[in-house]
Amino acid sequence: MSDFTGPGVYILVSVATGTIVNLSGANPANKTAVIGWTNDSAPNAQWELADAGNGQYLISNVATGTLLTGSGGASGPTTGNLISPTNTSARWTIKPAKNGAYIFYNVGIPSSVLNLSGASAALGTPVILWPETAGASNEQWYIKLPA
C-alpha cells in the first residue's frame, strides 16, 4: 500500500521487485541515471512530489534538486536534470493502479510510463520510460513515506 496523500517527500517502491527509484550516486549533474536500488531512505532515494498545476507533478530529488525527466523518447532512460519546470519531459501525472499502487505518466510523452526495466531486481537496473503495458507490475509504484 501507498502513503500518498498529495505533495510531499516520498520514496517510490517498485511493485515488481521492492527496489526503489534512486538518483545514481546522488550526482547533481544533468543526465544522471535514475536506477532501481536497495530500499532505503537515503536522500538520493527520496523524491519531492510538487503540485505543478493541471493535475501534474514535478518530481525532484531531495539530495540534488534535479528533476526526474523522461530523456530518451517513448522508450528510453529517465535521468535527473536541472531544467525548466515548464518542460513537459519533467512533468508527470500520477494515476492509481490497483492495490494502492500508482502509475506515473510522462506529460511530454503521455503514452509512456515510469518503468523498472525488465522488472529486474538487480541493483542498478535502469528506470526508464516505456509505452504502457496494462497491468505490468514493473510500471506500478508504491508511494511511501521515508523511514
8-45 pLDDT, tens digit each: 999 999 999 999 999 999 999 999 999 999 988 899 99
Beta-carbon count within 10 A of 30 CB: 13
29 in a domain, yes or no? yes
3 in a domain, yes or no? no
112 in a domain, yes or no? yes
Q: Could you tell me the residue range of the domain that residue 41 belongs to?
A: 8-144
Indicate the pTM of the whole model.
Answer: 0.97
37-96 pLDDT, tens digit each: 998 889 999 999 999 999 999 999 999 999 999 988 899 999 999 999 999 999 999 999
49 in a domain, yes or no? yes
- Residue 46 belongs to a domain with what CATH number? 2.80.10.50
95 in a domain, yes or no? yes
* Number of domains comprising the chain: 1
121 in a domain, yes or no? yes
Of 93, 125, 78, 94, nearest to 2 by C-alpha is 94
User: Position of cell 525488465?
Assistant: 118
2 in a domain, yes or no? no
1 in a domain, yes or no? no
Q: How many residues does the chain have?
A: 147
